[in-house]
Structure 1
Amino acid sequence: MASNKLLMLSVVAICLPAMAMATDYLVGDDSGWTINFDYQAWAKDKVFYVGDKFMFQYPKGYHNVFKVNGTAFKNCDIPPANQALSSGNDTVVLNTPGRKWYICGVSNHCSTYAQKLFITVQYQYGWAPAPTPQILQVSQPWAPTPAPTPSSPSTPAPTPSVPDTIVTNPWASSPILSSPPLPTPIAPSWPPAPSLPTTLAPTLERWAPTTLSVPETTLAAVALRSNRF
Structure 2
Amino acid sequence: MAGILGAAALSIAVLCLLVQCEIVRSQGQGTVYTVGDKKGWDLDFKIMNWPNNKHFKEGDVLVFKSKNQYGVAKVDAKEFQQCQTNNETKRYYSGNDKFTLQKGSNYFISTVPDYCGYGMRIKVDVL
Shorter-chain TM-score above 0.5: yes
The unaligned stretches of length 5 or more in structure 2 are 1-21
Cα distance in 2 for residues equivalent to 1:20 and 1:80: 28
Selected match of 1:93 from 93, 100, 105: 100
Q: Secondary structure at the match of 1:99?
A: strand
Secondary structure of residue in 1 paired with 2:70: coil
TM-score (norm 2): 0.73
Q: Pick 1 or 2: higher relative contact order, CA cutoff 8 A, min separation 6.
A: 2
Counterparts of 1:9-158 in structure 2, within 5 Å, are 15-19=23-27, 22-60=30-68, 62-94=69-101, 96-111=102-117, 113-122=118-127
- Contact 1:66–1:79 at 8 Å: present in 2 too? no
1:115 Cα deviation (Å)?
0.5
What is the CA deviation profile of residues 39-74 of structure 1, one whole-angstrom value per residue up to 9, with x for unaligned ones?
Answer: 3322110010011110000025x4111111111111
Secondary structure of the corresponding residue to residue 45 of structure 2: coil
Q: 1:20 to 1:110 in 2, by over 3 A?
A: closer
Whole-angstrom CA distance in 2 between matches of 1:26 and 1:72: 23
Superposition pairs for residues 167-186 of structure 1, below 5 Å? Answer: none
Bigger Rg, structure 1 or 2: 1
State the distance in 2 between where 1:107 and 1:42 align: 19
Q: Distance in 2 between matches of 1:107 and 1:98?
A: 24
Residues 78-124 of structure 1: CA deviation (Å, up to 9, x unaligned): 33334211111001111x2000110011251111x2100001111xx
Q: Shift of residue 15 of structure 1?
A: 4.9
Calculate the aligned-residue CA RMSD, in Å. 2.5
1:57, 1:81 → 2: CA distance?
A: 20
Aligned-residue offset at 1:19: 3.8
Secondary structure at the counterpart of residue 50 of structure 2: helix
Identify unmatched segments of 5+ residues in structure 1. 1-13, 123-229
Greater strand percent: which structure?
2
Question: 1:21 deviation in Å?
Answer: 6.6
Task: Return closer, same or farther for 1:70/1:17 CA change in 2, 3 Å cut-off.
Answer: closer
What SS class does the counterpart of residue 38 from structure 2 fall into?
helix
1:37 Cα shift? 3.2
Aligned to 2:114, the other structure's residue is in SS state: coil
Greater helix fraction, Structure 1 or Structure 2: 2
* Rounded Cα–Cα distance in structure 2 between residues aligned with 1:86 and 1:48: 24
